[in-house]
Amino acid sequence: MTTLHQPPATLAWHGGPSGYLELIDQTLLPRQCRLIQCRTADDVHEAIRSLRVRGAPAIGIAAAYGLCLAMQHAEDDEERWFAALKRAVAHLASARPTAVNLIWALRRTAAAAQRLRGQVPPTQLGEALLAEARAIEQEDRQTCLAIGQLGAGLLCDGMGVLTHCNTGRLATGGLGTALAIIYCAVQAGKQLHVYATETRPLLQGARLTAWELLHSGISVTLVCDSMAGHLMQQGRVQAVLTGADRIASNGDTANKIGTYALAVLARHHGLPFYVAAPVSTFDLSLSEGTQIPIEERSGREITHPCGVQAAPDGVQTYNPAFDVTPAALITAIVCEHGIIRPVDSQHVALVAGKAPHPRGSTVPLG
């Protein structure tokens, strides 16, 4: 069995209800691994919006702790306290629209306080928020391990595995989603070689995945996004493995821009295309991927990569952060409840929907 090294924790809460959130500022990687402190909900909102913390599960955990920060100085009046809670949920939810874990974690954390309404004074509700946020983080660790162990069997010894964006420890509270499968397969003694795409325009693969895998002692080769088809044609890749930010009830999957192109290439070359995501990433209220909101970000991310101008002034840009891969192109989806294969509405419901899920306990966002 191979022993893997571990980079620092992506995020951690320090103290009790009056504590603070500490996280790795991922915008500085790989040049610098610096921890920053979030002491207000605005700090967390900014960290999510600016991608200091990113990855659907990690965004959800950070938002849950952000709600704890928002309510630290709320008024000691029940009606006003819950009005402030509703505003805080809406504010944090506005940070990024595509990752469903963000809204799910906020609603679940707020619901923990709602269940105690009228039973304890508002001064004690902060403890309930923190307990729920901690539970979400701990469950994510267990979920990542389950995904990794379930999915490891999909990878064979000697495989070349292509991955996109970052889906490891930096994106979650645990081992990761797609990268957890790689970690668990390697720990089980399988020899794998990972090809990580740069993942333009923000280079999460180059800056984060390559850094994380190197720290863990896993063989990794960094390639440009446009090299994926060539790698497949040359027989260097035997499987493609990605994460997800939102999955509709039919299995259509939103993930980092460029994922759809990889799925098309994998189908053309007869390669399996696997998606790894926790059940909290499924949005069973959506029947298909066309209903998933796609975040569009500043064109400056394209024209000024890493802050350096690479395009002429005045050029028009189009910068969607995500695209949607149709379920028909996905070989299997791995979640903590099992492996969904084939990927369709029936099997998504059987696996992802087979256990009660806290999404049912909600607080309105409006």
* Residues 200-207: contacts with CB under 8 Å, at least 24 apart: 200/225, 200/258, 200/302, 200/305, 201/301, 201/302, 201/305, 201/319, 202/51, 202/301, 202/305, 203/305, 203/306, 204/54, 204/165, 204/166, 204/256, 205/163, 205/164, 205/165, 205/166, 207/26, 207/29, 207/30
Q: Which of 245, 252, 283, 323 is catalytic?
A: 245
245 catalytic residue (yes or no):
yes
Q: DSSP readout, 160-199?
A: EEEE-S--SGGGSSSS-SHHHHHHHHHHTT---EEEEE--
Q: DSSP readout, 56-79?
A: HHHHHHHHHHHHHHHTTT--S-HH
| C-beta separation of 140 from 57 below 8 A | yes
- Report the C-alpha gap between 242 and 194 in whole angstroms: 12
Residue 62 has which token pair?
A: 């950070």
CA 315 to chain centre: 31
Cα-Cα end-to-end distance for the chain:
50
The contacts of residue 313 (CB under 8 Å, 6+ apart) are none
Task: Determine the residue type at 45.
Answer: H
- Report the C-alpha gap between 186 and 164 in whole angstroms: 19
- Catalytic positions, please? 245
